Amino acid sequence: MEYTKILKRAWEITWRHKALWLFGFLLALFSGGGGTGGSQGIQYTADPGYRVEPALVLPLVFLVLIFVLVLVVVGIIINYLSHGALIGMVHEVEETGNTSVGSGWRMGWSRFLPLFAIDLVIGIPAAFVAFILIALGLSPLLLVLAQEDALTVLAILLTLFFMLLVIGLLIIMGVVLSLLRKLAYRQCVLERKGVVDSIRDGYRIGRQNLRHVGLVWLLLLGIGIVFAVVVVPVSMAVLAVAVAPAAALYAATEAVGASLLVGAVFVIPAILLLSLVGAVYQVFCSAVWTLTYLKL
């Protein structure tokens, strides 16, 4: 397998077919893998004589919970729809030389439920195994119950040793399941197979081509590290520049509302721009795995 040609072709598809960027953008926003963020609370001091009525608080809390639930559901749908769209669109480019947002939407919408089910079938047993391993790793701490200094020291040392082993096993398990997931996704979208068949045949392809799959993973790992090293400092600088006008306005006037408005004017475009960068990266990685799958 010519890995350089795969990377080059994936970049050509990513750059030339910008219809892919929409789904990469959605994936960057809703997959949780497009960047990092933080939040800071704003405290408000109420009049000491003011009393909040429970009759007003409870409906508000209920509405917030409903809103959050709707966002979670929409995020899940868009996440798996985008995965399916990117896989199908790259294959469509290879077959016909072109693709479109409409065809991506149709392919993604038709397969988002099976893709979601694949993650459940893989993720639930993996979570159970991870829980068992962590529990075993922490089990030497039971020696502390003896309340003897020598046993307490032994418990701490054994726990550190076993937890290092557990962390190593969990990392290996995470990588293996991630590769299985990528191959199963492509079985599901491109071969139109069911959930169990996609996982089984994805595992078969991965096992038969372990060296190729492992090398592609290592290549993308290296690219991801370089991407993070470059993008993270740039992102922090861009956000700092975007926040600066609002911070300066607040320092001069202490007007919270005006400062938030100015901040939104500058920060929202900055976030969208950074998300677009993450979108291109998401499209490229998905294209690399789809082209690798097609070669295998």
**HEC profile for the chain?**
CCHHHHHHHHHHHHHHCCHHHHHHHHHHHHCCCCCCCCCCCCCCCCCCCCCCCHHHHHHHHHHHHHHHHHHHHHHHHHHHHHHHHHHHHHHHHHHHCCCCHHHHHHHHHHHHHHHHHHHHHHHHHHHHHHHHHHHHHHHHHHHHHHCCHHHHHHHHHHHHHHHHHHHHHHHHHHHHHHHHHHHHHHHHHHCCCCHHHHHHHHHHHHHHCHHHHHHHHHHHHHHHHHHHHHHHHHHHHHHHHHHHHHHHHHHHHCCHHHHHHHHHHHHHHHHHHHHHHHHHHHHHHHHHHHHHHHHC
What single-letter amino acid sits at 256?
A: V
d(CA 18, CA 81): 17
What single-letter amino acid sits at 236?
A: M
Share of the chain above pLDDT 70, in %: 91
pLDDT band at 34 (very low <50, low <70, confident <90, very high): very low
- Who wins on pLDDT, 151 or 206? 206
The full set of domain ranges for the chain reads 3-35+54-295
In sequence order, which residues have a C-beta less than 8 Å from that of residue 136 and are 6 or more positions away? 162, 166
Six token digits for residue 160: 């550190």
d(CA 115, CA 111): 6
d(CA 132, CA 130): 5
Residue 257 exposed, middle or buried by CB count within 10 Å (0-12, 13-18, 19+): exposed
Query: What predicted TM-score, i.e. pTM, was given to this entire model?
Result: 0.82
Spatial contact of 212 and 292, defined as CB atoms under 8 Å apart: yes
- Who wins on pLDDT, 231 or 52? 231
- Predicted confidence (pLDDT) at residue 145 exceeds the cutoff of 50: yes
Q: What is the pLDDT of residues 85-144, one digit of tens each?
A: 999 999 999 999 999 999 999 999 999 999 999 999 999 999 999 999 999 999 988 888
- Predicted confidence (pLDDT) at residue 265 exceeds the cutoff of 50: yes
- What local confidence, expressed as pLDDT, does residue 47 receive? 47
Q: What is the pLDDT of residues 194-214, one digit of tens each?
A: 999 999 999 999 999 999 999
Q: What is the pLDDT of residues 5-30, one digit of tens each?
A: 999 999 999 999 999 999 999 988 87
